Structure 1
Amino acid sequence: MGMAWQNELKLHLQKLSDFWVERNLDRYQLMEDQEKKAIHRKKAGLRERGVDILKAEVSGNILGTTVHGSERTVDYFYRLRLFQKQQDTFFFEDVQTKRRATFKEGELIKDSSRAVESSVMDVQDVPTKLPQDEWRMPGKGKGKGKGIIYDRLAAVKYADRWWDAYNPKFRAFDVDCTNYVSQCVFAGGGPMNGQYNKHSGWWYEGNRWSLSWAVAHSFRWYLASEGNRLGAVAVEHPEQLQPGDVICYDFEGDGHWDHSTIVTEKDGKGMPLVNAHTTNSRHRYWAYEDSTAWTQNIKYKFYHFND
């Protein structure tokens, strides 16, 4: 049997590439139900938006393998690039995530995503709802962001540079979405404040950081507070956002904010495409209907930075 599982995995990755372009459904039998539903939603969303997938590229890097009797599990990094066309606009989407393939006697019997869009990390030490007073800085309630020039290009360049990697100047978290977005906003000139109380302001230094820097729920409430120094203003609709702005996600609609992304591009109809960490993504459609964490109760908050 030897290395038969490696050849089987290579064939599987090739079929996953064909799956997106040719809509061949034979790969579904290897996926878990939650992921199947997410893929159905993504394909339905592409049709509704009038997006055609012209080409798909899939690759994988093996992280480790374990053998138990006749079964072998293989953890690997999966990278997908979708070349898309919408009206006269061409763009691409990248996703990189961890997956686990299970083989029995060399035959692939299961392939599942190991990605988690939200995690228990985002509820540690954080109340269900933070009052705005928690973040208010004395004398700074009015004119927030005054005098700050937000460099959107710098924020987007940083987002594209580090979407699939981790800047060694900052700690990398298992749930890294908000840490990554905070870094992008900081690269665009967002000012830190509130050091060194983790419940105050928005800041990172050495091995310390505020909850609002790294926790999605806290970041959302900091942006909404009178004390935010970033010049963030909530807007009603996603099309009002520009590259460099951010979106916050409450997947369950229960008041706990789970995820953060940064807008890095617009599609052919002017809707945001976002970058994110945890499931590392570039130019992903903003609504996240392709996420296994998505529910019909999802809520969004859209924040535009004054510049």
Structure 2
Amino acid sequence: MDWLVSLQEFIEEQNASFTTDRIRDSRISTLEREALIRRSKSLKARNAVIVNAQVKAKILHHDSTAPNKKEVTYLIKRSYLIKQPSNFYVEESLERRKALVENNEIELDQSLEQEGVFPSQLQTVERDEDVMPMPRYRYNRLEAVKYAERWWNSHNTAYKLFENDCTNFISQCLHAGGAPMRGYPNRSKGWWYRNNNWSYSWAVANTLRWHLSGSKQGLRGQEMASPEQLVPGDVICYDFNGDGRWQHNTIVVARDEQGMPLVNAHTHNSRMRFWDYTDSTAYTPEIRYKFFRIIDG
């Protein structure tokens, strides 16, 4: 299968570019090239360098769309060993991609993962200031981070897997840390998952952002002024377009040598990713962030 050899060579060439800054391949989208260039600049600004990059790929499906033309869907896992002046850490990602092959040569390669959500998912939630008192709890950050590390690249079958799974994943992490559910069965109240049903705040990025800032009991967040104030177990919310519609959430799992957050996330599954997402194709110069310290109830 000559097309498979071509795909393997293409993947290896792309992987090599992460350690050489040769990011000019026209076979990937302009958005991805721009994101990789921003990533390179971000690494330099942090005195960080990728000293080793490894990649594994698995073919999920391939189909001939015309004579000498093929569409290939594959899963790719990348691991980067990143060095700062006196610190090393490993960043990882897992994504589905699609390659278009013509005459056994790669013509186009693109990600099938979309960071952000569709407009239909941008529900808001009512403020719930009048709620029944709940037992007090202490948020266990270690357990939340352990869950984020265990499930960053896979699916816990105890929960539904969403097409845009970022907020569902963060909610699972928060619940693993002991944040109590409340509000069932009203989907616009509280924060909960039960009987294969869930509140908007459990699964919708925009709604979780407003829940964290407005909730008076149970899961609550305290807004912080800057990312370096966050610690493992805290949450970052992203408005990529700066239009007030919050599209993505991540959980802090560690901090780099400069004290900046490294995060785990779903949808484009990522581990130990630098917090600012300038390497995302969804990034725009108008991006806005909210930094939430998860507080005891």
> What range describes the TM-score normalised by the shorter chain of this pair?
over 0.9
What SS does the corresponding residue of 2:206 show, helix, strand or coil? helix
Q: Which of the numbers 201, 208, 212 marks the counterpart of 2:197?
A: 208
Determine if the alignment matches structure 1 residue 220 to structure 2 residue 221.
Answer: no
* Distance in 2, Cα, partners of 1:266 & 1:49: 12
How many residues matched?
295
Determine if the alignment matches structure 1 residue 176 to structure 2 residue 165.
Answer: yes
Distance apart, 1:118 and its partner CA? 1.3
1:32 corresponds to which residue?
Answer: 29
Distance apart, 1:11 and its partner CA? 1.2
**Paired residues of 1:178 and 1:259 also in contact (CA < 8 A):** yes
What SS does the corresponding residue of 1:135 show, helix, strand or coil? coil
Distance apart, 1:290 and its partner CA? 0.6
Q: Which of the numbers 221, 229, 237 marks the counterpart of 1:240?
A: 229
Determine if the alignment matches structure 1 residue 20 to structure 2 residue 13.
Answer: no
**Paired residues of 1:148 and 1:231 also in contact (CA < 8 A):** no
* Distance in 1, Cα, partners of 2:262 & 2:113: 20
Distance apart, 1:227 and its partner CA? 2.8
What SS does the corresponding residue of 1:291 show, helix, strand or coil? coil
1:74 corresponds to which residue?
Answer: 72
* Distance in 2, Cα, partners of 1:126 & 1:166: 24
* Distance in 1, Cα, partners of 2:98 & 2:121: 28
Map Cα deviations across residues 136-177 of structure 1 (whole Å, 9 max, x no partner): 24366xxxx983211111000000000000000000000000
What SS does the corresponding residue of 2:109 show, helix, strand or coil? strand
User: What letter corresponds to residue 82 of structure 2 in structure 1?
Assistant: Q
Q: Which of the numbers 130, 135, 138 marks the counterpart of 2:131?
A: 138
User: What letter corresponds to residue 34 of structure 1 in structure 2?
Assistant: L
**Paired residues of 1:101 and 1:110 also in contact (CA < 8 A):** yes
**Paired residues of 2:191 and 2:219 also in contact (CA < 8 A):** no
User: What letter corresponds to residue 106 of structure 1 in structure 2?
Assistant: N
User: What letter corresponds to residue 44 of structure 1 in structure 2?
Assistant: K
Cα–Cα, structure 1 residues 261 and 9, in superposed 2: closer, same or farther, change >3 Å? Answer: same
> Could you list the runs of 5+ residues in structure 1 that have no partner in the other structure?
none
Q: Which of the numbers 6, 9, 14 marks the counterpart of 1:8?
A: 6
**Paired residues of 1:135 and 1:199 also in contact (CA < 8 A):** no
1:86 corresponds to which residue?
Answer: 84
* Distance in 2, Cα, partners of 1:33 & 1:44: 17
Determine if the alignment matches structure 1 residue 55 to structure 2 residue 52.
Answer: yes
The equivalences for 1:122-201 within 5 A come to 123-124=120-121, 126-127=123-124, 134-138=127-131, 147-201=136-190
Cα–Cα, structure 1 residues 250 and 96, in superposed 2: closer, same or farther, change >3 Å? Answer: same
Distance apart, 1:181 and its partner CA? 0.2
2:243 corresponds to which residue?
Answer: 254
| Aligned-residue identity in percent | 39
Distance apart, 1:58 and its partner CA? 1.0
The equivalences for 1:103-114 within 5 A come to 103-114=101-112
2:62 corresponds to which residue?
Answer: 65
1:44 corresponds to which residue?
Answer: 41
**Paired residues of 2:23 and 2:36 also in contact (CA < 8 A):** no
Distance apart, 1:134 and its partner CA? 2.6
> Could you list the runs of 5+ residues in structure 2 that have no partner in the other structure?
none
Cα–Cα, structure 1 residues 137 and 193, in superposed 2: closer, same or farther, change >3 Å? Answer: farther
**Paired residues of 2:59 and 2:75 also in contact (CA < 8 A):** yes
Map Cα deviations across residues 243-284 of structure 1 (whole Å, 9 max, x no partner): 000001111111111000000011110100000000000000
**Paired residues of 2:23 and 2:33 also in contact (CA < 8 A):** no
